[in-house]
Amino acid sequence: MAIRLTTYEHAKDIPDLPGTNVFHSTELFRILEQTPGYRPVLLVASEDDRPIGKLLCVTRRNFRLLGFTNKTYVYGTGEYFKSKHSREEIFDELLTYFTLRYKESSFLLEFRNLEEPLFGYRYFRRNGYFPVRWLRVRNSIHHEQLDKWMSSSRKRQIARGLKNGASMEIASDPETVKAFFAMLKKYYSAKIHRYLPDFRFFASFAEQSSLGGKGKIFVICHKEKVIGGSVCLFSDDTAYLMFSAGMRKSYPLLYPGVLAVWKAMIYAREHGYEHFEFIEAGLPFRKFSYRDFILRFGGKQLSTRRWFKVRWNWLNRLLIRIYV
C-alpha cells in the first residue's frame, strides 16, 4: 500500500504517536511551538492508517545583515516503526516532501546529528543536498567509573570547584530558570556562531521536563547565585547536551562551566543512560576551543556528516562540486 503523509503545524492536533526519539517527539514540538522565532512542523508517514515514520522539522528565523532569513533543520533522519516498507523508502517520501515544502521559503536546509552517516545518501543526493564532514563527541557513561577516561586536570578542577563552595542543582523553580537564562544570555552574547533561543524556550522546557522527563536544566550556584548551568535532552539510552555555560572569568576557582557538564553527566549516569553526547562538536578541519574543552571529559571523537541545501541554485551547485 502507498505511503501517506500528514503534516501537523500545531501540537494540539497531533494524535498519540509511538516512538521514543525526543528529537521527533510531541514534547519537543510543544516547546518549540511556544518559542518566538521557531516554527515546528511534524511530518508523519502512515500505512493503512498506522504511523510508520515521523520527522520533526524546525524552522528558525534569523536576522542577518541582508534581513530576515529562515533556516529549516532536522535532528537525525526521523524515527521509524514496523512497516512493509523499508526505512529508506519511508525516508525518501519524507525527504522529498520536506525539500519541496521548504526549498523556497528557507535559505538553508540542514540535517544534523546523523546516527548513521551513510543512511539515505542517494536520496539526499537526488534532492540536491551536499554533505559536509562533521564531528561528534560521545562519552560512554555506563562503566564502573564515570571519570575513567577523564583528564587528570579535569578531575582536579571538579574537586576544587566543589571544595571551594560551588553547588550543583536541578533548576526547579521559575526564578532559578530566569537567573540561568540571564547568565546564559550574557555568555552567548560573545559567541556569534551560536544561537540562543528566547527565554520562553527554557521556561517551556523546564515546565515540560517536570511533566515528561525528556530533559533537565542544571545549574551551578555559589552563595545562592547562578554562576553556571547546562541543558540536557534525554532520548533512548543517550543524554544530549544542548547548552552549557559558566562564569569562569568571574569565578575562576569554582570552574562553573566544568561543573555544569559534570552535573549533567552524573544525572544521566544515575538515571540509567549509557551515553552522553555533545551536540556541537564542530567541523573537523577547524580549530575549535569548545571541542578541546569537552574532549577532556574523556569522550571519543567520531566522524559523521551533515547534509545541506542552499536556496540559491547557483551557489548550491557550486557547493555540490566542492563537497561531493
For the residues 64-90, what does the mean pLDDT come to? 86
Report the pLDDT value the prediction gives residue 64, as an integer from 0 to 100: 54
User: Do 45 and 25 share a domain, yes or no?
Assistant: yes
User: Do 164 and 241 share a domain, yes or no?
Assistant: yes
Domain boundary pick from 127, 145, 161: 127
Tell me the CATH number at 296. Answer: 3.40.630.30
Mean pLDDT of the chain: 90
User: Do 235 and 159 share a domain, yes or no?
Assistant: yes
Flag whether pLDDT at 98 surpasses 70.
Answer: yes
Report the pLDDT value the prediction gives residue 110, as an integer from 0 to 100: 96
User: Do 29 and 110 share a domain, yes or no?
Assistant: yes
Report the pLDDT value the prediction gives residue 193, as an integer from 0 to 100: 60
Boundaries of domain holding 278 = 137-303
Structural domain contains residue 317: no
Structural domain contains residue 319: no
For the residues 291-315, what does the mean pLDDT come to? 90
Structural domain contains residue 312: no
Structural domain contains residue 323: no
Report the pLDDT value the prediction gives residue 136, as an integer from 0 to 100: 87
Phi then psi for residue 51, to 5 deg, are -65, 130
Between 112-121, 210-219, 259-268, 294-303, the lowest mean confidence (pLDDT) is in 210-219
Structural domain contains residue 180: yes
Query: pLDDT for 196-226, tens place per residue?
Result: 899 999 998 888 765 566 889 999 999 999 9
User: Do 141 and 288 share a domain, yes or no?
Assistant: yes
CA angle 248, 250, 253 (to 5 degrees): 60
For the residues 281-295, what does the mean pLDDT come to? 74
Report the pLDDT value the prediction gives residue 301, as an integer from 0 to 100: 87
Q: Which residue has the higher pLDDT, 292 or 249?
A: 249
Domain boundary pick from 127, 151, 167: 127
Structural domain contains residue 321: no
Label residue 113 left, alpha or beta by phi (over 0 means left) and psi (-120 to 50 means alpha).
Answer: left
Structure confidence at residue 65 as a pLDDT band (50, 70, 90): very low
Cell of 297: 571529559
User: Do 208 and 111 share a domain, yes or no?
Assistant: no
Domain boundary pick from 127, 161, 191: 127
User: Do 142 and 120 share a domain, yes or no?
Assistant: no
Q: Whole-model pTM?
A: 0.92
Flag whether pLDDT at 269 surpasses 70.
Answer: yes
Share of the chain above pLDDT 70, in %: 93
User: Do 164 and 91 share a domain, yes or no?
Assistant: no
Query: pLDDT for 4-57, tens place per residue?
Result: 999 999 999 999 999 999 999 999 999 999 999 999 999 999 999 899 999 999
In total, how many domains does the chain have?
Answer: 2
For the residues 260-277, what does the mean pLDDT come to? 94
Q: Are 104 and 307 in contact (CB under 8 A)?
A: no
Structure confidence at residue 195 as a pLDDT band (50, 70, 90): confident
Structural domain contains residue 254: yes
Structural domain contains residue 213: yes
User: Do 212 and 299 share a domain, yes or no?
Assistant: yes
CA distance 247 to 245: 7
Report the pLDDT value the prediction gives residue 265, as an integer from 0 to 100: 95
User: Do 144 and 293 share a domain, yes or no?
Assistant: yes
Q: Are 274 and 287 in contact (CB under 8 A)?
A: no
